[in-house]
Structure 1
C-alpha cells in the first residue's frame, strides 16, 4: 500500500512528480490564500526587508518603477532572493528564517534604516528583535493572508506544511494524530508545538527540500 501525503499548498507538476516517483500517493490543496492590498509610503529607506516572495510581490503591485532603485534588500530564503534579483534588486543578506535575518541586521547593520514589507499574519520575531536592538524601521503590510480550510476525509500518513498559517488553517477542519508532519522551517514547526511531536523540518526553507525530506522519510522506512 502506498503512503498517502497531503500538501497544504498546490505543487508544481515537477514537484508533485518527484513524490509520485517515490511511490507516494499525493493529495494537494491550498490551505491559505493571498490578497494583495494597496498601501501608502510616506518616506523611503535605503534598506528593504522581505520575509517571503508574497511580501515582495505585494510590494511590486503598488510601487512605481524606480522609486526604490538602488535600495539594498534583506530577505528570507534563497528562492525569494532569486525572485527579487530577477526583478533587478540587489540582495545583500539572505537567511534561512526571520530570526536569523534579524540577528544579522542587528549585528551588522544596526545604524541603518529599514522598511519591512509584511503580511497581515506574521510572527513578531523580526520586528521585536529589531525594536529591542534599537534598529530604526517602519513596517508596511502589503498583503492579507486568508485561511482557506478544507476537510480531509482520507486517511493520511504525512502532511506537508509551508507556513504557520497553513498549520492553523489545516487544524480548523482537521486533527493530527499519527501523521508525520514535514515543515518548511522551524517557525512553521513551532506552530505544531503541543499538537504532535512527529515533525520533520527541512534543512533549507524551500518546497523542494520539504519534498526531499518526505522522500527520505519513507525511503528509510521501506529499507528497514
Structure 2
C-alpha cells in the first residue's frame, strides 16, 4: 500500500525527495502567502525578537536594518537562527517555540527592553507572557500572512502543518477526519485542538524534522505489513 501525504506548503526538491524515497506519495499546496509591508524603524530596543524566518526577512526589507547588527537577538527555531547569523547578527537565545522563548527571557533577561518583529497573524503567547512579567516590549509588524484556501480532492493519509495559519487556511475548504497531522511545533499543534487527536509534533521546529517524523511514522506500518506478509 502506498500512503499519501499532503504538505501545506511547497517543499524544497530535496525535502520532497526524502519523502518519496520512503515510498510515500506527496501532494503539495501553499495554504498561506506572505506579503512584506513597509514599516518605520523607531524606538528600537537593544534586544530584538523574531519568532519566524519571515519576521527576520521582513525586518531586512528596511533600508536601515543593517544598522542594528550590534543589537542582541532572541529567536524561535534553529533555521531562523542560522538565517539571522548569516546576516551578521548575534543570537543570544533560541528556543523551539514562542512559549519556551518567553520562559528564557523571563528567567534570564527580565531586566531588558525588547522589540518584537512580527506578522499579522502572530499568536499572543509571547507578548502576553512578557506583559505579565512586566518586561517592556514594543512590537512592529513587518509582514502580513494571507490565507490561500483551496480544496484538496485527493484522499490523503497525513497532513503536514508548518504554522497555525496554515491550519486555518486548510480548514476553510477541507476537513480533518482520521488523517495523521504532523506539526512543526506546539503552537501549530494547538491550532488543531478540538479537531483531532492524531497529532505528531516535530522534535525540532524545522521542515526537515517534520519529514523525519513522517518517515518514522509510516515506516512502522511498512514493517507491520512486511511481518504479516512473511507470516
Q: What TM-score does the superposition give when structure 2 sets the normalisation length?
A: 0.95
1:42-191 alignment runs, 5 A limit: 42-191=42-191
The CA deviation string for residues 126-167 of structure 1, in whole angstroms up to 9 with x for no partner, is 000000101011000000000001100011100000000000
Q: What TM-score does the superposition give when structure 1 sets the normalisation length?
A: 0.98
Give the Cα separation in 1 of the matches to 2:194 and 2:100: 24
8 Å contact from structure 2 (residues 59, 65) kept in 1: no
Q: Cα 1:194–1:88, aligned 2, differ >3 Å: closer, same or farther?
A: same
What's 1:207 paired with?
A: 207
Q: Cα 1:73–1:63, aligned 2, differ >3 Å: closer, same or farther?
A: farther
1:63: Cα distance to partner? Answer: 4.0
Flag as ranges the 4+ runs of structure 1 deviating above 4 A. none
What's 1:27 paired with?
A: 27
Give the Cα separation in 2 of the matches to 1:143 and 1:73: 19
Give the Cα separation in 1 of the matches to 2:66 and 2:30: 34
SS at match of 1:26: strand
Give the Cα separation in 2 of the matches to 1:86 and 1:7: 27
1:67: Cα distance to partner? Answer: 2.1
**Unaligned residue ranges in structure 2 (runs of 5+):** 225-231
1:201: Cα distance to partner? Answer: 0.6
Give the Cα separation in 1 of the matches to 2:79 and 2:169: 24
8 Å contact from structure 2 (residues 114, 137) kept in 1: yes
- Give the alignment's Cα RMSD to 1 decimal: 0.8
